[in-house]
């Protein structure tokens, strides 16, 4: 019987592991150690708190500390873990006053998450320059806006966080500029689809500068200036750096645990690390890619929840495997939603597949019913096998874009071909869809394109 299970980290993976363990064994002592005071908070909700659309930050808590402790989980907030000692099966931590404490474990789950990528730029530490990863980052950002009353912001990076924050800060009344090193925005999408997003940003007054390689950030009086290597300069009252994240795996590495893809903790599908009795889950760990059949690094909240649940179950003696990710994501940008799953052409080519993509523009439901909205779908399949590989969709908020991408994700998860999409028995009523769903129309367009390419 497992007597003591220790979980390092209180976000998505950590809470999922802890709750699953208590569901399976109420007698097991589950201890969750977290560096801050905010267990089980929706970090994904921070842009909407900062925009003012979610006025109370406490609403971002999936569960309160009292509710978590009511499940029988012992919480140790504001305890920073300094070492994992596998030989003694102990975790060492210091509290807010610097006092040391040892936590013995029978099983350990590492769920330390990720940290913001910090580019090596002069001026990155200047007042008014922010990152957005944890609740404390959000509070510091909010405090700066409330006290300094900035009129403008420059966002470095045009990924998901950059796009959501461009929307949020425009909603807040700031003048927004986005700079991006690559030639398009929303860089996990193909550039032509990124162009649709760029047009939406500009329609709402956001200035966008692509091919902008930031060299440094300078301070001039009360203002900041973001300078490019080409000599361009963007003046702003504050700067948000949103250039991605990396796994927080230093504790695991120091403990002798193997490190894998992109510096993430190496795990198998049971979420076991290279050391016995130690599991890892969430943004600190590798992710099994279901379509490719190998590990990669795709830090997503949905993935962290699933991995944490598997780790918690297996720590209690279970035999569950994490089924794998497809990188399914969606993001709202003003009046648009962009969503993707699976592989794009370039990603499939790197895996030595034979991708072909087809594009359609269609309506989300029958056009004779009011408020029909257009969507652009790019669907990707393998020319040799007909296997469905992925999709990218951009359309109006309210056009059920997420429903469509989830349909594709479920189909890829189950190994379906492009042709078999047409066999799906999908719901239809004129206000919501068409007899052939837009995804099925895209599959038919792909089939025509594939036949022409043969």
Which residues are marked as active site?
44
Q: How many residues does the chain have?
A: 454
- At residue 192's C-alpha, the angle toward residues 152 and 240, to 5°, is 25
Q: Kindly list the distances between the CA atom of residue 263 and the CA atoms of 111, 247, 305, in Å, as whole numbers in the listed order.
A: 15, 6, 20
116 backbone dihedrals φ, ψ, rounded to 5°: -65, 140
Burial 220-239 (b: 16+ CB within 10 A, else e): eeeebbbbbeeeeebebbbb
* Type and span of the H or E element at 302: helix 301-315
Burial class (CB in 10 A: 0-12, 13-18, 19+), 341: buried
Say how far apart CA 446 and CA 448 lie, in whole Å: 5
Closest by Cα among 147, 211, 145, 151 to 178: 211
Say how far apart CA 307 and CA 25 lie, in whole Å: 19
Please say whether the beta carbons of 434 and 440 come within 8 A. no
* Type and span of the H or E element at 438: helix 438-453
Q: Are strands 355-363 and 374-382 parallel, antiparallel or unpaired?
A: antiparallel
Residue 444 is encoded by which pair of tokens?
């038919």
Residue 129 is encoded by which pair of tokens?
């320059």
Task: Supply the DSSP string of 83-121, one letter for each residue.
Answer: EEETTTTEEEEE-TT--EEEEE-SEEEE---EEE-----
């Amino acid at each position: 019987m497992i007597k003591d299970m220790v979980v390092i980290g209180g976000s998505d993976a950590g809470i999922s592991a802890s709750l699953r363990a208590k569901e399976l064994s109420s007698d097991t002592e589950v201890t969750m150690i977290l560096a801050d005071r905010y267990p089980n908070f929706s970090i994904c909700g921070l842009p909407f708190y900062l925009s003012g659309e979610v006025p109370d930050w406490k609403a971002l808590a999936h569960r309160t500390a009292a509710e978590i402790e009511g499940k029988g989980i012992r919480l140790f907030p504001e305890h920073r873990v300094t070492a994992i000692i596998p030989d003694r099966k102990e975790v060492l931590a210091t509290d807010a006053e610097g006092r040391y404490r040892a936590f013995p474990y029978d099983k350990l789950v590492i769920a330390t998450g990720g940290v913001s990528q910090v580019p090596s730029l002069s001026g990155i530490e200047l007042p008014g320059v922010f990152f957005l990863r944890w609740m404390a980052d959000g509070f510091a950002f909010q405090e700066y806006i409330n006290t300094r009353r900035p009129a403008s912001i420059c966002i470095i990076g045009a990924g998901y966080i950059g796009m959501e924050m461009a929307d949020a800060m425009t909603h807040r009344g700031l003048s927004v500029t986005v700079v991006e090193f690559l030639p398009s925005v929303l860089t996990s999408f193909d550039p032509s689809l990124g162009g649709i997003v760029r047009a939406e940003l500009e329609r709402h007054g956001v200035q966008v500068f692509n091919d902008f390689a930031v060299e440094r950030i300078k301070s001039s009086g009360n203002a900041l200036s973001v300078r490019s290597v080409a000599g361009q300069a963007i003046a702003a009252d504050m700067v948000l750096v949103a250039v991605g994240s990396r796994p927080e795996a230093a504790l695991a590495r120091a403990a002798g645990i193997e490190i894998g893809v992109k510096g993430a903790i190496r795990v198998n599908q049971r979420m076991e690390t290279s050391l016995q009795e130690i599991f890892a889950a969430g943004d600190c760990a590798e992710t099994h890619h279901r379509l490719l059949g190998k590990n990669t690094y795709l830090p997503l909240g949905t993935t962290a929840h699933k991995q944490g649940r598997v780790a918690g179950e297996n720590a209690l003696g279970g035999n569950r495997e994490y089924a794998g990710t497809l990188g399914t994501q969606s993001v709202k940008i003003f009046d648009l939603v962009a969503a993707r799953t699976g592989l794009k052409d370039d990603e499939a080519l790197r895996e030595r597949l034979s991708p072909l993509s087809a594009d359609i523009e269609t309506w989300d439901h029958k056009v004779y019913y009011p408020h029909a909205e257009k969507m652009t779908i790019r669907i990707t399949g393998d020319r040799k096998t007909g296997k469905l590989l992925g999709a990218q969709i951009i359309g109006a908020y309210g056009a059920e874009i997420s429903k469509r991408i989830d349909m594709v994700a479920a189909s890829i998860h189950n190994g379906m071909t492009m042709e078999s999409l047409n066999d799906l028995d999908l719901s239809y009523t004129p206000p919501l869809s068409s007899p052939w769903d837009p995804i099925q129309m895209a599959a038919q367009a792909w089939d025509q394109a594939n036949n022409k390419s043969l």
